[in-house]
Amino acid sequence: MAEDIKTPSGYPQDGQQPFQVIEEPPLPPVNEFKRFIKVFARRKIVLFGLLLVLVILVAGIFPSQLAPHDPYRLNLMNNLQPPSSTYPLGTDELGRCLLSRIIYGARLALISGVATVIISTIIGSAIGLIAGFSGKVVEDIIMRLTDAWISIPPLVIMILVGAIIGRGVMGIVLAIALGMFPGYIRLVYGQVMTIKQNDYIMASRAMGDSKISIALKHILPNCISPIIVTMTMMMGGAVMAEAGLSFIGLGLQPPNPAWGTMANDGYTQLGNLPLLSIAPGLAIVVLVFGFNMIGDGIRDALDPKMRGVEE
């Protein structure tokens, strides 16, 4: 019986090639890391921003080696000195060396930028994933609560949480993180909703994968890139938020050398020693600018549209 089944006449037989295969030369393997670096370093201003952040990072790691004086030592005989060779940026109202205080403030500024963003990313992404993967009821509750949370002026949240936990470094970091995290919920939730439509998710479900394994194996990796981009973009914002809080006296409490507090303390002397408030303010600008540029670079480097850009 088997012989009766004939191959249809139109089909080539006896191992003939059905159609001509044109051998394409294989594409050279792309080293993702190298490509990332190349695109990242394409713009000089991005590298400049990276350099600025690195300088501040060094100041934040080795403040005691770099600072010419003790940033906390009061010296009322020497207060409000103009810049001189001993005090490169002068001294504040309590006779403390301004440059040393700015250098010691670098660590606080970096922590408030990086730690807040990491914490709010983790909380926000986790909740966003849960919202995108649970039933209608849980999803609705989470997203409506997120809407409500976003409607509270972030400053109010930050001030209240800061007051409850205490205005130390940890308290302020948590306060700012709680002010920022709903943004990540919306971001990740939106990603999940888009990615869920894909056929490979359906295939994965058909193969009997559990929701959790789909979330971790397929959804999360696809969210990483927009999350990283948003994180770097938000770091500048977090630094600004901390500086603003400290400026109005509801951020890090003295004697912490927070740049915002210093700018506010120096404001009373703006007429005779403008550097006292402008110099800490400029330090914030430098850090925020650096973070924003790094963010721009990473966004370009992770953007699929920028693939193959070799300039």
Partner 1 sequence: MVAFIVRRLVSSLFIVLLVSMVVFILIRMTPGCPVSALVDQEINSRMQAGEVLDPVMQQELMDRIFAEHGLDLPIPIQFVNWLGRMLRGDFGRSMVRNYDIRTEVGRRMAVTVYLGVLSLIVTVVLGIFLGVVAAVRNGKLIDSVVTSFGNFGMTVPAFLIAILLVWVFGFLLEWLPIWGFHLPWRGDVGQSIRRTILPVVTLSIGGIGGLSRMTRSAMLDVLNADHVRTAWAKGMREKTVIFRHVMKNGLMPIVSGFGGMIRGIFGGSVVVETIFVVPGMGALLVQAMQSNDYNVVQATTVLLTFITVMSNLVVDLMYVWVDPRIQLA
Binding site for partner 1 (CB under 8 A): 144-145, 147-148, 151-156, 159-161, 163-164, 236, 240, 243-244, 247-250, 260, 263-264, 267, 270-271, 274, 277-278, 281-282, 284-285, 288-289, 292
Minimum CB distance to partner 1 smaller for 138 or for 140: 140
3 state SS of 136: helix
Q: Considering the complex, what minimum distance in angstroms separates the CB of residue 285 from partner 1?
A: 5
Two tokens at 206?
């058909």
What is the rounded CA–CA span in Å between residue 193 and residue 122? 19
Tell me the DSSP string of 167-227. SSHHHHHHHHHHHHHHHHHHHHHHHHHHHHTSHHHHHHHHTT--HHHHIIIIIHHHHHHHH
> In the complex with partner 1, which residue's Cβ is closer, 87 or 291?
291
Tokens of 114: 């990086």
Please report how many Cα atoms fall inside a 13 Å half-sphere around the Cα of residue 289, on the Cβ side: 14
Least Å distance, CB 154 to partner 1, is 7
Residue in the block written with tokens 């976003």:
150
The 10 Å Cβ neighbour count of residue 154 is: 18
CB nearer partner 1, residue 153 or residue 308 = 153
Helix, strand or coil, per DSSP, at residue 97: strand
Nearer to partner 1, 95 or 244 (CB): 244
We find the least distance from the C-beta atom of residue 212 to partner 1, in angstroms, to be: 30
Q: Provide, rounded to whole angstroms, the least separation between the CB of residue 211 and partner 1.
A: 27
| Residue 91, helix vs strand vs coil | strand
Say whether the peptide bond before residue 255 is cis (omega within 30 degrees of 0).
Answer: yes
Q: How far is the CB of 69 from partner 1 (least distance, A)?
A: 24
Q: Shortest approach of partner 1 to residue 248 CB, angstroms?
A: 5
Could you tell me which residues come within 8 angstroms of residue 179 by beta carbon, excluding any fewer than 6 positions away? 154, 155, 157, 158, 161, 241
Are 133 and 211 contacting, i.e. CB atoms less than 8 angstroms apart? yes
Nearer CB in complex with partner 1: 124/154: 154
Nearer to partner 1, 192 or 240 (CB): 240
Between 284 and 301, CB nearer to partner 1: 284
Q: How far is the CB of 28 from partner 1 (least distance, A)?
A: 32
CB of 5 to partner 1, least distance (A): 56
Residue 214 vs 296, nearer CB to partner 1:
296
**Other Cβ atoms within 10 Å of 259 Cβ, number:** 29
